[in-house]
Each structure stands twice: as structure tokens, then as C-alpha cells.
Amino acid sequence: MLKCREVTALASDWLDGDLTTAQKLKVRLHLMMCRHCRNLVDGLATTERIIRDRLDAELPIPAELQQRTTEAIEARLRTDQSGRN
Amino acid sequence: MEQAATDEQQLVDRLRQRDSRAYHEAVQQFSGAMLATARSMLDPATAEDVVQESWVAVVDAIDGFEGRSALKTWLCTITANRARNRLRKSKRETLTDFQAPLDPNLEKRFNEGGGWIQPTRPWGSESADELLSNEALKDCLDKHFEALPETQRAVLMMREMQQMEADDVCRILGLSSANLRVSLHRARQKLFTMIEGFRETGEC
Ligand SMILES: [Zn+2]
């Protein structure tokens, strides 16, 4: 029987589906009997949802950065063109 | 979904043809994700430089894009590679203790026999919805994300936020796949503890 501490250490892999069949069975068995660890797994699942939904996967692009990036690309495209000709 | 895939294929074709308008569109569409990726490793000014450099590199690399991942993910992988090189140059290499599977704040909630001393209280699904729309939590989350150890922050951004391949993330950060997973778990555990505290006290 896994200890609560071990289940907690495996919880993140459990949620990702990254455990072996034997480990999955042991975790499932423990969770059936232990409400504290069920709460931990619920909390970790909520945490992942919040991370995915609320952390910024994109940041606003300053106009100045967009401008100089476009210029740098165009300069590269021009040298590329002359290289090919 | 399929329409999006077709649009992306058309955009890639135009990028391959060195169509400058296509680059302009792509810069508008994808630079935000690239900047977020670079920022997870670098200060704001250096991160912006890396985004610009990465786009120039894309002009040369686009013929090698095989479409196995989404274009955005591929662009973030290029950006992360370059960001990591900057990190090496500025000698900000960090080595964290990867051995322990539990974050110290979680570890201390167990007794020596591995049982709970201080278990977490029930997390209802309605409280998750409330938390998701809570603006103060968003600020707190951003603060704690910034405060994560460098490797954990980069792993969380690349794996969880940009869905980069585990192999790519390992190669870029120089991690074994076991260390990658431990870093990801520990980052989630830290944010779990933070959200749990916020939920109980309403404070960051
Ligand atoms: Zn338990």
C-alpha cells in the first residue's frame, strides 16, 4: 500500500497519465480509501487548469519591437534574394 | 480545426516563398507567444532582442519546417533555443536540486511515516470556477510564476503553456527526461501551495 507522501509525489504524473499500469493501480487503490489524497489530487488538477487558463502564454508586443523585427526580416529577405540571383 | 490547419499551411507556403507580407502577418500572430517563451528565461530587453533575432533565423530555417508540430510551437522552440544560448553567454546557469520529488513546503506536511500531518481541505468544482475568474489570484499567480526557480519557470512555459515536445525541452535546457518531469511537478506543487493559501485567506 502506497503512503500518502508517495501518492502526492506521483500525483502530477497520475494526472498526466504518465504512470505504469502497476503504479496506476496502486494509486487508484489508495485514492479509493484516502480522502486526503483525493483532495490533494483535486487541488492539483484545479491548479493545472488555473495555470493553463490564467498564466500568459502570450505577451503584448511593443510597437517598437514589431517595427524593428519587420525591418530586420525585410533586410534578411533582400540579402536572401540577392544571394539567389 | 481543419480550416485552421489549411490556413496555417497556406501561411507556411507563403513564408517559404519569402513573401514579406506573410512575415508581417506571422510576426503579428506569433510574436506574443515567442516573447512569453523568451521572457521565461531572460530579462525584458534581452527577451525582445531574442524574438527579433529568432524571426531573422526563421527566414533561413522555414524550409526545414516539417509541420510535425504547429507553426507556433516550432517558432517557440527556435526562440527557446536562442534564449538558452543567451543564458549561457551571460553565465546564469543554475543547477537546482532535482532529486527530491516534493517541494519543501509540501514535504513538511507529512510525518516521518509518510502520512499527512496537514492535509489539504476539499477543493470543490464551484470554487475552481470562482478562482479562474478572480483577478487578484491572477496577479498573485503572475508574481509566483516570476519567482519560480529559473528551470521550473522555463519548463512550465515550454511544456505546459507552449506544448513543446519533451525531447526538445530536455535538449534546450540540458535536462534528463526524469529531471524535466521533476521540475514540472515541483513548479505545479509550488503553485498549488500558493493557490491553496490564496483560497483560504483571500491574500497572496
Ligand atoms: Zn493518502
**Rounded distance, CA A69 to CA B29, Å?**
13
H helix intervals, chain A: 4-16, 21-33, 35-54, 63-84
Q: Where are the domains of chain A?
A: 4-84
- Closest chain B CA to residue A42: B123
Mean pLDDT, residues A7-22 taken together: 95
Choose the weakest-confidence range: B42-46, B96-100, B123-127, B172-176. B96-100
All 3 cell numbers of residue B195? 493557490
* C-beta separation of B57 from B85 below 8 A: no
Q: Given its phi and psi angles, is residue B95 left (phi above 0), alpha (psi -120 to 50 degrees) or beta?
A: beta
Chain B interface test: which of A38, A47, A77 (most B C-beta within 10 Å): A47
> What b/e string do you get for B117-152 counting C-beta neighbours within 10 Å, with b at 16 or more?
eebbeebeeeebeebeebeebbebbeebbeebebbb
Mean pLDDT, residues A55-73 taken together: 96
What is the nearest CA distance from B165 to chain A, expressed in angstroms?
14
pLDDT score of A62 more than 90: yes
- Closest chain B CA to residue A48: B188
pLDDT score of B171 more than 90: yes
**The complex's ipTM?**
0.89
**C-beta neighbour count of B113 within 10 angstroms:** 8
| Amino acid identity at A84 | R
Mean pLDDT, residues B128-154 taken together: 91
Handedness of CA B103, B106, B109, B110 (dihedral sign): negative
Chain A interface test: which of B39, B52, B99 (most A C-beta within 10 Å): B52
* C-beta separation of B109 from B117 below 8 A: yes
Three-class SS of residue B110?
A: strand
> How many contacts, defined by CB atoms under 8 Å, are there between A and B?
148
User: A-chain residues within 8 Å CB-CB of B138?
Assistant: 54
What is the nearest CA distance from A3 to chain B, expressed in angstroms?
6
- Closest chain A CA to residue B58: A73
Give me the percent of chain B exceeding a pLDDT of 70.
92
All 3 cell numbers of residue B187? 513548479
Please write the tens of the pLDDT for every residue from B29-83.
999 999 999 999 999 999 999 999 999 999 999 999 988 889 999 999 999 999 9
- pLDDT at position B104 is 92
Please write the tens of the pLDDT for every residue from B85-110.
998 766 555 555 556 889 999 999 99
**Rounded distance, CA B76 to CA B163, Å?**
9
- pLDDT at position B124 is 75
- pLDDT at position A85 is 42
Please write the tens of the pLDDT for every residue from A25-56.
999 999 999 999 999 999 999 999 999 999 99
- pLDDT at position B100 is 84
* C-beta separation of B33 from B91 below 8 A: no
Mean pLDDT, residues B160-169 taken together: 94
Mean pLDDT, residues B117-140 taken together: 87
Please write the tens of the pLDDT for every residue from B41-53.
999 999 999 999 9
User: B-chain residues within 8 Å CB-CB of A49?
Assistant: 128, 132
Query: Which residue shows C-alpha cell 534564449?
Result: B83
pLDDT score of B115 more than 50: yes
Please write the tens of the pLDDT for every residue from B10-34.
999 999 999 999 999 999 999 999 9
Ligand 1 centroid to residue A39 C-alpha, Å: 9
All 3 cell numbers of residue B19? 513573401
**C-beta neighbour count of B160 within 10 angstroms:** 17
Residue A40, chain B, CB below 8 Å: the answer is: yes
Q: Report CB contact under 8 Å: B20, A9.
A: no
* C-beta separation of A46 from B128 below 8 A: yes
What's chain B's average pLDDT? 90
Length of chain A: 85
- pLDDT at position B87 is 82
Q: Which domains does chain B have, with CATH numbers?
A: 2-86 (1.10.1740.10), 104-201 (1.10.10.10)
pLDDT score of A80 more than 80: no
Give me the percent of chain A exceeding a pLDDT of 90.
91
